[in-house]
């Protein structure tokens, strides 16, 4: 099972992003490469929203300028409102285009970027702002760097965390976190060891974040503490982590006690139920130590911090080892069917092929070279939208 976590309404429609280029312009006079077509589309969308491309693209010859001029001639003053999300969408696409990275455009729309937006960085927990030169500037980052900008692979974080993470994946981040923990424990001063401005705890969060989109053996995924709850709309590839997230997020909504008891009743066998009860009765006091924060953000942090406790992890691993990936999938299905998700949370499952559709994994997230398959044929810079079961 692959899951995609969100707590936002999926049914809002962003009309500014829904117009398909095939229906809105004629084919260029000569065949374009994929890279040129994407640049032309980007210029066209700037014109569609009445936005002049940044220098030098509005003045020097480029596919972006060509698309912008064609779009300006077509739309004139009949443009769409350039909301902040639209500007971020265009900037993300420009950033990707300059590096040859793919952007899947069927789902990655301005509306989608609003869904993945966050007020605080999940790695550093610092408040995000939009100051262009600030380390706390909000950025949209790909979690897997061998994949493109696609639904399920994007997260909002600070520029500082983004720059530190760079192309580090799950295993590399685990090793950095371990090395920094050892260096801090062995150090004579009180300042924790850091790499690229992040300490061991923050690198541990990066490792867990990367693990969500990294297929892992069940036993390996089960031994990971949920140091950061899955950000909105991030896809989870490991069923045991999806179960971990569902259990954790129960505590963020009223009525969790009844739902947890009902989940326990869904487990097969008294030994498994005892292991689950032992785990949850260890997790709960660690969460309650933080009080009962009225701020939902600090409530999330209290749950994340509880997962760092050794006793919690010992009992979680004992319980999770009694399951398998298939049994986790089955349990999640029963939780959904039984209406045991907290209000505002929804789970949808994706088939393996759907989970990475549009991620451009064969080209490691880069736009394929070559000409468009046919003149005027539209590319989404990555692939089709993936549809399936999702955890929102």
Report the 10 Å Cβ neighbour count for 237. 22
Cβ within 8 Å of residue 358, ≥6 positions away: 102, 104, 106, 107, 148, 150, 151, 380, 382, 383, 384, 385, 386
Q: Which helix (H) or strand (E) holds 253?
A: none
| Local structure of 127: helix, strand or coil | strand
Split at pLDDT 50, 70, 90, the class of 351 is confident
247-253 long-range contacts (CB < 8 A, ≥24 apart) are 247/280, 248/303, 248/307, 249/342, 249/345, 250/342, 251/284, 251/287, 251/299, 251/303, 252/296, 252/299, 252/300, 252/303, 252/342, 253/342, 253/343, 253/344, 253/345
Question: What is residue 126's predicted lDDT score, i.e. its pLDDT?
Answer: 95
| Local structure of 155: helix, strand or coil | strand
Q: Could you read off the pLDDT of 10-46 as tens digits, one per residue? A: 323 333 333 334 334 544 567 889 999 999 999 999 9
Mean predicted lDDT score pLDDT of the chain:
87
The token pair at 375 is 């003149």
Peptide bond into 121 cis (omega under 30): no
Please give the residue that has the higher pLDDT: either 305 or 370: 305
Q: In what order do the strands lie in the sheet with 235-236?
A: 235-236, 2-4, 349-350
Owner of token pair 């297929």: 215
Q: How far apart are CA 228 and CA 124, in angstroms?
A: 10
Q: Mean pLDDT across the stretch 157-172?
A: 95
pTM of the model: 0.87
CB contact at 8 A, 233 and 115? yes
- Has residue 75 got a pLDDT over 60? yes
Owner of token pair 């468009």: 372
φ, ψ (nearest 5 deg) of residue 51: -110, 130
Q: How far apart are CA 150 and CA 147, in angstroms?
A: 8
Report the 10 Å Cβ neighbour count for 64. 28
Q: How far apart are CA 193 and CA 322, in angstroms?
A: 37
Rg from Cα positions in the chain: 23
Q: How far apart are CA 229 and CA 233, in angstroms?
A: 12
- Kindly state the DSSP code that residue 194 receives in the 8-state scheme: E
Split at pLDDT 50, 70, 90, the class of 381 is very low
The token pair at 301 is 């942090």
Question: What is residue 132's predicted lDDT score, i.e. its pLDDT?
Answer: 63
Cβ within 8 Å of residue 48, ≥6 positions away: 16, 19, 71, 75, 79, 80
Question: What is residue 1's predicted lDDT score, i.e. its pLDDT?
Answer: 61
Q: Could you read off the pLDDT of 108-150 as tens digits, one per residue? A: 999 999 999 999 999 999 999 877 678 889 999 999 999 999 9
Owner of token pair 């295993």: 171
Q: Mean pLDDT across the stretch 213-222?
A: 97
Owner of token pair 């995924």: 221
CA-to-CA dists, residue 215 to 110, 299, 369, angstroms: 28, 28, 28
Question: What is residue 348's predicted lDDT score, i.e. its pLDDT?
Answer: 77
| Local structure of 256: helix, strand or coil | helix
Closest CA to 334 of 277, 266, 241: 266
């Amino acid at each position: 099972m692959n899951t995609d976590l969100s707590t936002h309404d999926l049914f809002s429609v962003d009309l500014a992003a829904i117009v398909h280029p095939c229906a809105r312009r004629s084919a260029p006079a000569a065949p374009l490469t994929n890279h040129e077509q994407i640049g032309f589309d980007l210029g066209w969308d700037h014109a569609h929203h009445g936005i002049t491309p940044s220098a030098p693209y509005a003045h020097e010859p480029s596919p972006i300028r060509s698309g912008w001029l064609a779009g300006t001639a077509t739309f004139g003053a009949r443009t769409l409102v350039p909301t902040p999300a639209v500007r971020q969408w265009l900037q993300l696409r420009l950033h990707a285009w300059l590096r040859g990275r793919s952007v899947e455009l069927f789902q990655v729309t301005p509306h989608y970027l609003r869904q993945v937006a966050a007020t605080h960085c999940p790695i550093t927990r610092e408040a995000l702002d939009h100051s262009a030169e600030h380390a706390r500037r909000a950025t949209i980052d790909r979690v897997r760097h061998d994949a493109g900008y696609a639904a399920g692979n994007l997260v909002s974080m600070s520029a500082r965390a983004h720059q530190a993470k760079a192309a580090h994946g799950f295993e590399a981040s685990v090793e950095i976190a371990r090395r920094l923990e050892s260096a801090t424990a062995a150090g004579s001063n009180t300042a924790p060891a850091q790499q690229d401005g992040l300490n061991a705890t923050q690198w541990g969060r990066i490792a867990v974040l990367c693990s969500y989109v990294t297929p892992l053996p069940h036993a390996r995924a089960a031994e990971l503490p949920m140091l950061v709850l899955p950000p909105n709309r991030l896809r989870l590839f490991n069923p045991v982590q999806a179960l971990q997230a569902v259990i954790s997020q129960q505590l963020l909504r009223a009525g969790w006690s009844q739902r947890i008891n009902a989940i326990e009743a869904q487990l097969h066998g008294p030994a498994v139920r005892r292991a689950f009860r032992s785990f949850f009765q260890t997790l709960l006091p660690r969460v309650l130590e933080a009080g009962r924060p009225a701020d939902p953000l600090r409530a999330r942090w209290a749950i994340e911090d509880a997962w760092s406790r050794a006793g919690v992890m010992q009992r979680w691993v004992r319980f999770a080892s009694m399951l398998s990936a298939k049994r986790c999938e089955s349990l999640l299905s029963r939780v959904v069917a039984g209406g045991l998700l907290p209000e505002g949370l929804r789970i949808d499952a994706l088939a393996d092929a759907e989970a990475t559709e549009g991620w451009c994994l064969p080209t490691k997230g880069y736009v394929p070279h070559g000409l468009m398959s046919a003149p005027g044929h539209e590319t989404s810079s990555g692939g089709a939208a993936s549809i399936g079961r999702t955890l929102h």
